Amino acid sequence: MTPVDREKSWGARLWSRNAALLLGRNTVVSLALFLIGLVLLWLLVEFGEADKLKATAATFLLATTLHYALGRAWIYRGTERRVVPGYGLFLANAVLGLGVTILLMDALLRWTSIHYLVARIMVSVIAGVAMFLSNAILNFKRL
């Protein structure tokens, strides 16, 4: 992001071609890793008899680590953030996302009859957008 881009209003930055490109790339990576995580979640719960929430946390963290690697290489190309501090911030952001994911998923499983995989999909949309914005603005500084 250039100094001129930083001077634009938040609205202009969020509704820009750059934001759309970053969101598009992030969506491709997120969706691919989410589907892999969902399959792993299903395998752990159905065949490994793992606890649903613990399995959700484990698959979420695995997907998040892979997402960081792809994020640096493709989504947020050109970031000036160094690898180790960037990974630390990405993980901190992921922990917040994990908290939101677990809390919302627990609420949906506890108070509704929604299937755990449907609940996971619903929760991922909310947590995913929040994490994208946090990473794009604060961590990689590309918006």
Write out pLDDT tens, residues 110-119.
999 999 989 9
Helix (H, G, I), strand (E, B) or coil at 132: helix
Q: What is the pLDDT of residue 43?
A: 96
Distance CA 40, CA 53 (A): 13
The predicted pLDDT at position 61 comes to 81
Phi-psi region at 78: left, alpha or beta (left = phi > 0; alpha = psi -120 to 50):
left
Domain that holds residue 101: 3-139
Q: What is the pLDDT of residues 50-104, one digit of tens each?
A: 999 899 888 988 888 899 999 999 999 888 899 999 989 998 998 888 888 889 9
Mean pLDDT score, 125-143: 89
The 10 Å Cβ neighbour count of residue 42 is 16
Number of domains in the chain: 1
- To the nearest whole number, what is the mean pLDDT of the chain? 89
pLDDT at 3 > cutoff 90:
no
CA angle 81, 83, 87 (to 5 degrees): 95
pLDDT class of 136 with cuts at 50, 70, 90: very high
Residue the block writes with tokens 């499983």 = 109
Query: Residue 132 to residues 20, 22, 97, 101, 112: CA-CA distances in angstroms?
Result: 12, 9, 10, 14, 28
What does the pLDDT read at residue 94? 87
- Please tell me the predicted confidence (pLDDT) of residue 56: 86
pLDDT at 98: 81
The reply to whether the predicted model has a pTM over 0.95 is no
Strand (E) or helix (H) holding 95: helix 83-111
Above 70 in pLDDT, residue 13?
A: yes
Please report the pLDDT score of residue 6 as a whole number.
61
